[in-house]
Amino acid sequence: MKKKLAPATLAIAVAIAFALGSFAINLKADDKDHDHDQDSDHHRDHSQFSKFVPGTIVLSRTVYKGTADTITIGESLPPGCQPLGSAADAASEPTANVNVPLLPPSTATTAVAVSCGYASDNGEAPNLKDSHNVWNNASSDGSFGVSSPIRLDDLTADGQRLGTLHIPGNEIVTSFSSKSELALNRSVDGKSLTFMGYRGGPGCPTLTLSGSGASLTLTQGTNVGPISPTRPNLIDASASSTPGLCDPTNPAVSSYEGATGPTAYYRSVAEVDSWGRISYTDGDAYSGDNSRGSMKGANSLYYSAGNDNNGGLSKTQAGETALGFNLSHSTGAELFTPGATPLVPPANNMLGFFVVGKDKPGKDTNFRGLTIFDNTVYVTKGSGSNGVNTVYQVGTSGSLPTTSNAPGTPPATVNFLVTPLPGFPQVSPTPDTSTTGATASVGGYYPFGIWFANSTTLYVCNEGDLVYTPDQVINGQTNVANSGDLAPNTMFSAGLQKWSLQSGTWVLQYVIQNGLNLGVPYSVKDYPTSIEPATGGCRNITGVVNPDGTATIYAITSTISLNGDNGADPNKLVKVTDVLSATSLSTKPYYDNFVTIRSARAGEAFRGVALAPEDDYFSSGGFGW
């Protein structure tokens, strides 16, 4: 008997055909949604979200929801920070000391200074009506950020939007200006997507300020605070302590003015299936900084990358205090069990701990990009002032790290080796010979997203150094990128790098820059020309291998600008097609030439991209008829 299609199934079938280009019917996708705003985040839904369409791509983005009232000029930043700072005494901000216990067997303490900033501007996003810019506050608050809602757009290969999944803002949020957050990864089995964000947990103990004049002391209590709120427009949630690792030296005390005590936020993994159903797993890793991304392995465990420690511990203090030990052992690459109760640091399954030379413990593992290929975890480091920027392998080839196969006596996940891939540059961000070793060189290498097309072909996004270079004209156009990023086909060139594995060593073939218009400022509707962004390179990526021997790679661009924080710049989603077997750039216009398929609006930022998840119903071979 011939089966009938239910209306919902028929709609999905038509959508799939449209996405794959096999229908001649002119179904109008939401390619003009920017001009017909019906949703408060400037994107009109073409239809109610029902499912991610197989064969499409998914874009993670965030939208700034703040208003002038989100920040009050002159208020202390971060909120709750003590001693209070103000614009009036900006030249001599007061400080207080926190007495942090040293590691046993010592019973002594070491004093750590804490100081606060102040708000130099209100909460308005950059606009054409006045000169306010909320991101100017980053000048006095180095970790400044405002929490914002998360959107997952289901897109065709050409960037036309089929639907949007609105992630509940009372469940999880991201930080708008944190450019390294909200990476999106499809699970190894192809059935779900994962990303990371912030979820409110029990607040940290009360901090009491005592003393007077130049002798101020902060003392942390032992109480547990109320559950911290999860919502947009929280301040510095991305720099907050986690509930299981409350750092009294962290100036990011509270996430909003008027809080009754210190707030704390889990760094949580969100998993989304093909129907848009979401589950959350909370974690206490990455206290004081941001989680970047996660990916679900074939063993159904989550692997993540991130950074921690926004507090005042010095390099020496981080290595000699219990607080520093806990922080340095709850960062970098981490292992999460879906649905498990958060593990309290330092017993939270950090994958591989190491310190290079005299670096600050925990900062050499400031990882950003993450992927799993052939049952092996890979991460990248491309920021910070410690360690070596390069592409790393975590553990042994073909074996996902777990608690059951951890090395060492006693076995522990921190004992997994984290090793640079042979052939890749190993670059120290600073000219400190004690941190570089014999194999590293000083210079600029900023790897971010990575994607394996096969076992011998690896694409790496280099975001560039993002330093604004003024008064420069190249080929008749203003250009704000530096010469090292613009240089063609070097290990340090910004753009999409193609590497091939030859006799056990990775060899750079070329760098795809065409179409990115590196360093050339572009205009954005309703956005000030004085801070117009330019593409600096690329960040998160994904790709698909085509039947004709080519690969199509999708990438999120990085930006250079004079904005207070270039992580808040409107950026782009681009794609490029490359011949897998090629060892030099193609001269044909349809290869190795980026095209923009989606552009962020003012007050919007793109973060991650992944192939759409598919469930067994579709991946098994059809719709059931």
Residue type at 435 in one-letter notation: T
pLDDT in the model for residue 84: 72
* CA separation for the pair 363, 383 (Å, rounded): 10
Q: Residue 434 — pLDDT band, cuts 50, 70, 90?
A: very low
**CA-closest candidate to residue 492, choices 558, 447, 432:** 447
pLDDT in the model for residue 429: 66
pLDDT 10s digits, 14-29: 444 444 433 332 333 3
pTM above 0.85, yes or no: yes
**CA-closest candidate to residue 309, choices 241, 367, 357, 364:** 241
pLDDT in the model for residue 167: 97
Q: Residue 603 — pLDDT band, cuts 50, 70, 90?
A: very high
* CA separation for the pair 522, 519 (Å, rounded): 9
Q: How many Cα atoms are found within 13 Å in the side-chain-facing hemisphere of 69?
A: 0
Cβ–Cβ < 8 Å for 272, 193? yes
Q: Give the other-Cβ count within 10 Å of 411's Cβ.
A: 11
Sequential DSSP letters for 242-290 = BTTB--TT-S---SSTT-SS---EEEEEEEEETT--EEEE----STTS-
Over residues 271-300, the mean pLDDT reads 97
Widest distance between CA atoms in the chain: 87
pLDDT in the model for residue 385: 80
* CA separation for the pair 11, 565 (Å, rounded): 42
* CA separation for the pair 122, 145 (Å, rounded): 13
* CA separation for the pair 306, 295 (Å, rounded): 13
pLDDT in the model for residue 427: 83
Q: Residue 92 — pLDDT band, cuts 50, 70, 90?
A: low
Can you name the residues that pair with 447 across neighbouring β-strands? 462
CA distances from 66 to 122, 232, 298, 524 (A): 10, 8, 40, 19
Checking if the pLDDT of 280 tops 50, the result is yes
Length of the chain in terms of residues written: 625
Over residues 286-304, the mean pLDDT reads 97
Give me the chain's average pLDDT, please: 89
Structure tokens at 41: 């985040």
Checking if the pLDDT of 223 tops 70, the result is yes
Cβ–Cβ < 8 Å for 553, 451? yes
Ramachandran area for residue 592 (φ above 0: left; ψ -120 to 50: alpha; else beta): left
Over residues 512-538, the mean pLDDT reads 98
pLDDT 10s digits, 228-276: 999 999 999 999 999 999 999 999 999 999 999 999 999 999 999 999 9
Cβ–Cβ < 8 Å for 369, 323? no
Give the three-class secondary structure for 137: helix
Cβ–Cβ < 8 Å for 382, 447? yes
Identify the residue whose tokens are 């797993």: 281
Structure tokens at 410: 């006693």
Sequential DSSP letters for 456-501 = TEEEEEE--------S-EETTEE--S-HHHHSTTSTT-SEEEEEEE
Over residues 1-25, the mean pLDDT reads 39
Q: How many Cα atoms are found within 13 Å in the side-chain-facing hemisphere of 129?
A: 3
**Between 361 and 15, residue with greater pLDDT:** 361
Buried b (16+ CB within 10 A) or exposed e, 291-305: bbbbbbbeeebbbbb
405-411's contacts with Cβ under 8 Å and 24+ in sequence apart are none
Pair type for strands 95-101 and 215-220: parallel
